[in-house]
Amino acid sequence: MGELQKIRIDKWLWAVRVFKTRTMATTACSSGKVKIDGKSVKASRSVSVGDKITVRKGVLTIIYEVEQIIAKRVSATLAAECFKDHSPPPPPQPVFSKKDAVFLNSGHRDRGTGRPTKRDRRDIDKMREDWDD
């Protein structure tokens, strides 16, 4: 039996573990989050060796170059051999200070504590002013 030449994009994305289910891969294709060579594609679009696939998953942009076509889901180590990763590094995680943590938590009050007092409100306003600077 010969080696595969083409396969559906949703099936390939599922097989190389970009998406957990094939349905998720199909949904991503139909919502325009998957592109081949810069063009949005439908889930039925065929993938061949050498195609550049761009996938947006949240804030991440994943760019793969297809090196091997597989039809069945395989282990992560075997799946990594099927593509070359050209993805940019992920964005840095924001660093928060103690002051920021107090501000971020200030929007939530425990149930039953009532409205903020005048002093609490002044502290919140001061933190918001510092945050905007």
Q: Give a yes or no: residue 108 inside a domain.
A: yes
Residues 75 and 17 in one domain: yes
pLDDT digits (tens, 9 = 90+) for 75-120: 999 999 999 999 998 878 777 666 666 555 556 667 778 888 898 8
**Digit-coded pLDDT (tens) for 1-60:** 457 788 999 999 999 999 999 999 999 999 999 999 999 999 999 999 999 999 999 888
CA distances from 34 to 30, 46, 75, 81, 125 (A): 8, 13, 23, 21, 43
* 104 and 42 within one domain: no
Do the Cβ atoms of 86 and 63 come closer than 8 Å? yes
Same-domain pairing of 81 and 103? no
- The parent domain of residue 114 ranges over 98-132
Residue 102 and residue 81 share a domain: no
Same domain, 24 and 63: yes
- Looking at the fold, whether 42 and 81 belong to one and the same domain comes out as yes
Q: Which pTM was predicted? A: 0.68
